[in-house]
Amino acid sequence: MSGVRVLVGTRKGAFILTSDGKRERWDVSGPHFAGWEMYHLKGSPADPNRIYASQCSGWFGQQIQRSDDGGKTWNPVGNQFAYDGVPGTHQWYDGTPHPWEFKRVWHLEPALTDPDTVYAGIEDAALFRSTDAGATWHELSGLRGHGSGSKWTPGAGGMGLHTILLDPKNPKRIFIAISAAGVFRSDDSGATWKVATKGLRSEFMPDPTAEVGHCVHRIAHHPSRPEVLFMQKHWDVMRSDDAGESWREVSGDLPTDFGFPIDVHAHEPETVYVVPIKSDAMAVDTLDRCGVYFGTTGGQVYASADSGDSWSPIVRDLPAVLSVEVQTLR
């Protein structure tokens, strides 16, 4: 029977939760890397046993870990994230220029067809890629060099590149989102980039419709139509039907349109999930019926095995949850 593996990053370690296709009983493994902040774990679509993890500590700094056996054992891999050339400056909170400084890896995104290729979104915001299973990392510097990089400004949580979407129909297309800069798209495998923020409005900015500066919290798409994007930003839920060329608000009757995560039903491209205010970590599996998972800062991970109709806690009393990802195991 098929099953699922839920990868949970927390303030003090990583946890791996597994279940069969019924998703009624869960085995909990962890904490892995006890005491470390685990910013993100993500499994390879090409090899479910290949998992990448980003761990960070105020004492020991950043470390990337890799598992080749579904999280049973781990090994450290390359950890050199050097900006290309002379990094230059970006805008600081007070509007003054500030040097680009590497702080941590916010997001890891394995390639869709090659388990040895993985992308990393970092703070201060930049995009890196490894083609040797994490041993070495190279910046895709066309993003920061786009021309708007000097105007990017940190949000309240820093200036992190937190979302990477790979287009399954167009292998050269990549979408990324940065807080607080906006959304960018590449159509040439990351060599060059264009801003994808037309239609966004952010009242806290001096120019609410400026090209960059929007605090985008997350973007998502459905694999069957990757040109349709959904966004949760700092106020407003947005939709694009043209690969980010333009956006329109779809907040509707939400109790609040402020939140962090957004995701799309595995089998219903028009069904979208958000968690207003309370959580910033959510994922969906591809089983039938579609499972939905989210974590909380109170240390709970909740699961729905019926597309969100009913919910139950998988696990309680974890440290504050930073990320939730799910692998569907066939």
Query: pLDDT tens across 160-202, in order?
Result: 999 999 999 999 999 999 988 999 999 999 999 999 999 999 9
Per residue in 268-280, pLDDT (tens digit) is: 999 999 987 656 6
pLDDT in tens, 278-313: 566 899 999 999 999 999 989 999 999 999 999 999
- Asked if residues 138 and 132 have their Cβ atoms less than 8 Å apart, the reply is no
pLDDT score for 60: 84
Q: What is the pLDDT of residues 35-93, one digit of tens each?
A: 999 999 999 999 999 999 999 988 888 999 999 999 999 999 999 999 999 989 999 99
- The answer, yes or no, to whether residue 258 has pLDDT greater than 80, is no
Task: Give me the mean pLDDT over the 304-330 stretch.
Answer: 94
Residue 12 has pLDDT above 90, yes or no: yes
> What integer is the mean pLDDT of 309-321?
94
Question: 321 pLDDT exceeds 90?
Answer: yes
The three-class DSSP label of residue 151 is: helix
Q: Is the predicted pLDDT of residue 319 greater than 70, yes or no?
A: yes
Q: What is the distance between the alpha carbons of residues 282 and 265, in angstroms, rounded to a whole number? A: 12
The whole-angstrom separation of Cα 87 and Cα 192 is: 17
How far apart are alpha carbons 168 and 30 in whole angstroms?
A: 32
Assign 156 a pLDDT band (cuts: 50, 70, 90): confident
Q: What is the pTM of this model?
A: 0.95
Task: Tokens 């495998």: give the residue.
Answer: 189
C-alpha distance from residue 133 to each of 50, 160, 164, 173, 291 (Å):
9, 22, 17, 21, 29
Residues of the chain with pLDDT > 90, as a percent, come to: 86
Q: Enumerate residues 6+ apart whose C-beta is below 8 A from 58.
A: none
